[in-house]
Structure formats: C-alpha cells, structure tokens
C-alpha cells in the first residue's frame, strides 16, 4: 500500500496536465497513430490496442502504426495523403517535434538562431497540415504531446544536446495551444513523463524512461505512455471484474462487470460459477523490440497501472478463521487467509489463472502482428526517407534496389533496412504480410471472449 500511495502522490505532480479528456474508441474505429521513430518502433499504440482487446472483447477496433523513424513534421506532411489517409482512419493521433528540435546542431555557435529558424518552418508546415486536417470532418483529431528528451539523467554522457529540452518544451506548448484553438483532443505524454523522470532521478540520478539514448522510451516508458493515453480517455477504474461474496449466508454482495451463479457452500468452503465481461491485461515480462532492454512490467514501478486498469477483484467475507486454497477450474491458484480473502485479492495479478492464460495468448498474437507491421513500416521508411528524394518513390524496381545497395555501404540506416526492402519491394510479399496480420487480428477477436469458470475456495489441508 505504501508503494501504491507513493505512486499516486507522484502522479499528483501532473494531475493538472491530465485534466482534459478524450472520448474512448468505439466499435469499428480505425485509428492511425502518426509520428516519428517513437511511434514507428515503439509499443504504446500496441499496448493501448491490447487493453481494448482484453477489456472490451466485443468492441472491435483497428489501430495502425503510421510512424517513420527520423521524421520531422515536414516529412510527415509529405506522406499524409498516401500513408495516413490511405488507411481510411476515422480517428488519428499526431505527434511530432523530437526531430524538428535538432541534435548535433546544438553544438553550432549559432545553435539557438538555427533551431529557431528551423522551428519557424516546422510551425508553418504544421499549420498547413492542420488546415488540411480541418477539412477532414470525418476524422477525429488527437494531438499527442510527445515523450520528453531527457537532458537531466546521469546514466551516460552521450546524446547530450544542450538546449534541446527547452526547445522541445516550446514545441509542446505550441501543440497544446493548437489543440485548444482547433478544439481537438490532446494527450500529454510530455509533462507527466518529465515529472516521473525528475521524481525518480531524485532517488537514482541514472533513472530515465528513455534509458538508451535519452530520446526513445523503452518498453516500460511505452507502458507509461499507454497508461497516460487510457487515463486521458477516462478509462481508469474500469475494473476487469469486482465480486464480493458473503460466505455465511451464501449471497453475492457485488458483481461488477461480471456474473456469479450457482453459488453454494458454507463458512468453510464455497464454490460458484464466474463470468467476467473482460479479461485481465497480460503484462509482458520480456524485453521486446530491437535495442530495448526494459520489460513492459518495469513500468508498473512508476505508474499505478494495475490499480487503475487491471483489477479483477474477488472478496469473500465471513469465512471461518484459517487458510484457504483458491481453485479455478480445479487448478490451485494459491492460498490466502480468511482475513486476506475478506479484504479482497486481485486475480489479475495471478498469471496462472485460466483467464490470464487466455489473455497471454492474445498478447502474443498481438506481438506477432506488431512484428509484421514493423516490416511494413521499415518499407515505408525506405520509400519516403530514401527513395523519394531520388525520384524513385514506389518504383521498387531493380534500379531502386541497386541504389539501396550502393548507398548502404556508407549509410547505416539504409544498410539496416536493406534486407527488409529486398523482400518488401515486392507487392505480393507486402500483401501476404497484410493477410498474415488480418488472420492474427481475426484470431484475437475470436479467442478474446471471456469464459465461465468454476471457482472454489476450500480450507487448506
């Protein structure tokens, strides 16, 4: 409880920033998450979708990663008609600014003037894009105030660009003002994540939600981002289930987002059928994604995700004093005292329950989908960040492949994407990848429906 209280107090550092809300996604929504490498190679949108897959199993939505690594707002604007509108979204989120605010340019003697001039161009480009978006009344617009550049962490001396953090903060202010002016929704990653960094750095100077390069959040940081997004959608405190049973008189006092039936037993043993309307959120304990070292689960240390989004509560009062085993579908989940059971236990924290095991399968299918989508995003990087400037956008012919090979010798980014492009340039391959994703998504929405389970609470032997 002290740890949870500490997290909640810490979150008070930025409650004002989270005061606004945006509507939750509804059945059939097609959401395009548009951005740079933090979107392209990151997990926050996948984590958000996983929450909807498990918590709202009957509310099918589709989320698209529409990020490209290295993009400033000018690059994003250039590809909007094809890459974003081509996905026919009715909701889109837009984040930008990390690349607009420069890197090594901060070591120039005229750095401030140079960046100010660049940002003036970025703002002009953004306003033209905003005018285009205003005409699309069929699309709900949400600006994401991006995750911060961490200039204060002491984890290493690399990637320190004096002045970048202040410049990015000004971009964030500009974006927030734009969202308010246009009456668009916005989600603030910047201020809450900056507050977390500073709070944790007061205890450990090497802490960072962007621990590899000060720029890109690791998996724990992406859980924080998903947490902030879902919280801004007003979805906190939406329990997986909340069940309270009185063992003495065999009555159900509470069954929130769930149904209890066939209740039987006594003060020493009780059983019932249990059907929740949601599945628990299956927190990942494996580092995912190239270059990432942190686990999604490490994000639980800095935000109360479990408290706000992953409570599957079971309380049984008036059991005779003693210890009890909890069995679900005949399998033992653990042992608790009568007092613990009366206070309530969170089944979502038990990864061996059949409902959690069901959710893990959804998570793994979603991760497989994410991996395939990354191949398509790497293809789009090659098209827009390399081939377009050479007049070879979507040519995908032998000349384009030859150009990739030649430049891969000196360009590490082209070299890193060369193998993927050698396959992705064939439309039949890209079509097959999309079909694979469609199969995975269909399977997810087939197997994500909660099932009825038999719950038994019996005195421990």
Tell me: pLDDT of 19 over 80.
no
Q: Is 265 left (phi over 0), alpha (psi -120 to 50) or beta?
A: left
46 and 78 both lie in a single domain = yes
Residues 68 and 186 grouped into a single domain? yes
pTM of the model: 0.95
Residue among 134, 139, 140 nearest 187 (CA): 140
Domain count, the chain: 3
Same domain, 150 and 185: yes
Are residues 76 and 194 part of one domain?
A: yes
CATH code of 54's domain: 3.40.50.1110
Q: What is the predicted pLDDT for the residue at 149? A: 98
Residue 253 lies in a domain: yes
The one-character DSSP state at 81 is I
Which tokens go with 28? 């059939």
Mean pLDDT for the chain overall: 95
- Residue-wise pLDDT for 340-381, tens only, equals 999 999 999 999 999 999 999 999 999 999 999 999 999 999
Question: DSSP label at 139?
Answer: S
Is residue 20 in some structural domain? Answer: yes
C-alpha torsion sign, points 11, 12, 13, 16: positive
Q: Helix (H, G, I), strand (E, B), or coil: what is residue 340?
A: helix
For the chain, percent helix, then strand, then coil, each to nearest 5?
A: 50, 20, 35
Taking alpha carbons only, the member of 227, 198, 270 closest to residue 457 is 270
Is residue 106's pLDDT more than 80? Answer: yes
User: Which residues does 192 contact at the CB level (< 8 Å), separation at least 6?
Assistant: 11, 13, 14, 17, 18, 224, 228
- Over residues 198-227, mean pLDDT: 97
Residue range 405-423: mean pLDDT, rounded:
97
Question: Which has the closest alpha carbon to 318: 382, 250, 270, 248?
Answer: 248
Token couple for 184: 């668009």
Residue numbers of the domain that contains 257: 241-287+301-351+449-459
Q: Please tell me whether residue 331 adopts helix, strand or coil conformation.
A: strand
Q: 130 near 179, Cβ under 8 Å?
A: no
Mind listing the pLDDT tens digit for each residue in 330-339? 999 999 999 9
Q: How many CA atoms lie within 13 A of 297 on its CB side?
A: 8
Q: In a 3-state reduction of DSSP, which class is residue 257?
A: coil
Cα(32)–Cα(64) distance, rounded to whole angstroms? 5
What is the rounded CA–CA span in Å between residue 172 and residue 178? Answer: 10
Residue 94 · residue 141 · CB < 8 Å: yes
Are the CB atoms for 267 and 229 separated by under 8 Å? Answer: no
Whether 5 shows a pLDDT value over 50: the answer reads: no
The backbone torsions φ and ψ at residue 311, rounded to the nearest 5 degrees and listed phi first, read -115, 115
Domain end residue (candidates: 213, 232, 251): 232
- Gyration radius (Cα) of the chain, Å: 24
Residues 384 and 324 in one domain: no
pLDDT at 143 over 50: yes
Phi and psi for 426 in degrees, rounded to 5?
-90, 120
Instruction: Assign 17 a pLDDT band (cuts: 50, 70, 90).
Output: very low
Residue-level pLDDT at 4: 47
Q: Which of 237, 241, 238 is nearest to 313 (CA)?
A: 241
DSSP state of 112: H
Are residues 306 and 437 part of one domain?
A: no
Quick count: other Cβ atoms within 10 Å of Cβ 184? 18
| Claim to verify: residue 427 and residue 437 sit in the same structural domain | yes
Q: Please give the distance of CA 460 from its chain centroid, rounded to a whole number.
A: 40
Which residues, 6 or more positions from 176, have their beta carbon under 8 angstroms from its beta carbon? 143, 145, 186, 188
193 and 281 share one domain: no
User: Do 173 and 50 belong together in one domain?
Assistant: yes
Q: Is residue 1 part of a domain?
A: no
Residue 135, domain member (yes or no): yes
Question: How far is the C-alpha of 309 from the C-alpha of 44, rounded, in Å?
Answer: 15
- Reported as a pLDDT band with limits 50, 70 and 90, residue 267 is confident
Q: Each residue of 68-98: b (16+ CB within 10 Å) or e?
A: bbebbbbbbbbbbeebbbeeebebbbbbbbb
What is the pLDDT at residue 18?
A: 53
Confidence of residue 112 (pLDDT cuts 50, 70, 90): very high
Chain length of the chain: 461
Residue 290 pLDDT grade (very low, low, confident, very high; cuts 50, 70, 90): confident
pLDDT confidence bin for 9, thresholds 50/70/90? very low
CA distance 214 to 112: 20
pLDDT > 70: percent of the chain? 96
Report if residue 293 sits inside a domain.
Answer: no
With 60 as the cut, is the pLDDT of residue 266 above it?
A: yes
Per the CB < 8 A criterion, the answer to whether 327 and 413 are in contact is no
Residue 291 has a pLDDT of 87
Phi, psi of 453, rounded to the nearest 5 degrees: -125, 150
> Does residue 33 lie within any of the structural domains?
yes
Residue holding tokens 């690594």? 69
Could you tell me if residue 3 is inside a domain? no
pLDDT, tens only, 302-350 = 999 999 999 999 999 999 999 999 999 999 999 999 999 999 999 999 9
> Is residue 421 located within the same domain as residue 316?
no
347 and 442 together in one domain: no
> Do 332 and 326 touch, CB atoms closer than 8 A?
yes
Q: Which of 153-167, 358-372, 396-410 has the lowest mean pLDDT?
A: 153-167
Question: Is it the case that residue 43 has pLDDT exceeding 50?
Answer: yes
**Sign of dihedral through CA atoms 97, 103, 105, 108?**
positive
Q: In angstroms, rounded to a whole number, what is the distance separating the alpha carbons of residues 449 and 412?
A: 45
Do residues 363 and 273 both lie within one domain?
no
């Amino acid at each position: 409880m002290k740890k949870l209280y500490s997290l909640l107090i810490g979150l008070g550092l930025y409650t004002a920033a989270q005061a606004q809300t945006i509507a939750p996604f509804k059945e059939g929504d097609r959401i395009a998450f548009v951005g740079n490498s933090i979107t392209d190679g990151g997990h926050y949108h996948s984590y958000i979708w996983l929450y909807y897959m498990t918590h709202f199993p009957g509310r099918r939505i589709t989320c698209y990663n529409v990020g490209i690594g290295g993009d400033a707002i000018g690059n994003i604007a250039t590809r909007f008609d094809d890459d974003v509108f081509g996905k026919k979204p009715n909701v889109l989120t837009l984040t930008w600014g990390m690349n607009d605010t420069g890197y090594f340019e901060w070591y120039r003697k005229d750095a401030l003037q140079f960046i100010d001039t660049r940002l003036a161009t970025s703002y002009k480009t953004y306003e033209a894009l905003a005018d285009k978006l205003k005409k699309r009344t069929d699309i709900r617009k949400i600006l994401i105030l991006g995750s911060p550049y961490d200039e204060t962490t002491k984890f290493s001396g690399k990637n320190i660009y004096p002045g970048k953090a202040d410049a990015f903060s000004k971009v964030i202010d500009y974006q927030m003002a734009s969202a308010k002016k246009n009456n668009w929704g916005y989600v603030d990653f910047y201020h809450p994540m900056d507050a977390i960094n500073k709070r944790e750095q007061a205890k450990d100077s090497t802490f960072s939600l962007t621990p590899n390069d000060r720029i890109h959040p690791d998996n724990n940081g992406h859980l924080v981002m998903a947490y902030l997004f879902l919280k801004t959608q007003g979805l906190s405190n939406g329990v997986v289930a909340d069940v309270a049973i009185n063992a003495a008189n065999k009555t159900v006092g509470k069954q929130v987002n769930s149904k209890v039936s066939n209740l039987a037993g006594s003060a020493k043993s009780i059983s019932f059928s249990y059907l929740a309307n949601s599945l628990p959120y299956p927190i990942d304990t494996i580092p995912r994604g190239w270059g990432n070292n942190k686990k999604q689960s490490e994000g639980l240390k800095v935000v109360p995700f479990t408290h706000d989004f992953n409570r599957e509560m079971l309380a049984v009062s008036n059991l005779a004093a003693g210890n009890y085993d909890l069995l679900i579908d005949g399998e033992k989940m653990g042992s608790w005292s009568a007092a613990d059971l009366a206070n309530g236990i969170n089944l979502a924290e038990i990864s061996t329950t059949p409902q959690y095991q069901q959710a893990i399968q959804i998570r793994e299918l979603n991760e497989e989908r994410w991996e395939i989508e990354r191949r398509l995003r790497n293809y789009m990087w090659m098209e827009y960040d390399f081939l377009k400037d050479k007049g070879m956008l979507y040519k995908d012919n032998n000349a384009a492949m030859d150009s990739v090979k030649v430049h891969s010798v000196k360009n590490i980014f082209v070299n890193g994407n060369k193998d993927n492009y050698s396959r992705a340039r064939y439309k039949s391959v890209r079509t097959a990848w999309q079909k694979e994703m469609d199969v995975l998504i269909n399977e997810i929405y087939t197997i994500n429906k909660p099932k009825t389970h038999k719950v038994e609470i019996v005195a421990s032997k």
